[in-house]
Amino acid sequence: MAGHYKAPDIPRAKVTPVLVRDELLKCFEDANKEFMNVLNQPTNDQALKVQVRQFVTGTFQSCGASFDQPTKEGIVTAIGQCKANAEAMMGEKGASIIREHYDEMMKLVNKLPDGK
């Protein structure tokens, strides 16, 4: 699908857990816009930003991961949980959107050094 989220091409040395967390928010906003299009629902960008932030911060908390001081391990756990939650909500309609966004996020996550 044209215009969907692409992970920024950032050198490995510049990729930090905070950057990946912030990209996760952008990625989720984009995925949610695509879901709304699939469901023919109107989107309100400001409301969507708030909703996505609540969803992602809530997911970090439920995984026992810090949103404010993210680690690679916490991000991997939270992304996996976000993916599972989104799949449960969207089902087959959202499967390809979720997969594409997950794959893009993992490109960034995989650049993070282990143990940080």
- For residue 3, being part of any structural domain is answered with no
Each residue's pLDDT tens digit, 52-103: 999 999 999 999 999 999 999 999 999 999 899 888 988 888 889 999 999 9
- For residue 116, being part of any structural domain is answered with no
How many Cβ atoms are within 10 Å of 4's Cβ, its own excluded? 15
- Yes or no: say if 18 and 70 are a contact pair by the CB < 8 Å rule: yes
- For residue 55, being part of any structural domain is answered with yes
- For residue 87, being part of any structural domain is answered with yes
Q: What is the pLDDT of residue 110?
A: 95
- For residue 64, being part of any structural domain is answered with yes
Q: Say how many domains are in the chain.
A: 1
In angstroms, what CA-CA distances link 12 with 68, 80, 100, 105? 21, 22, 21, 14
- Both tokens assigned to 24: 């996760």
Q: What is the pLDDT of residue 37?
A: 87
Residue 91: give the domain boundaries: 15-109
- For residue 7, being part of any structural domain is answered with no
- For residue 8, being part of any structural domain is answered with no
- For residue 1, being part of any structural domain is answered with no
Each residue's pLDDT tens digit, 20-43: 999 999 999 999 898 888 888 888
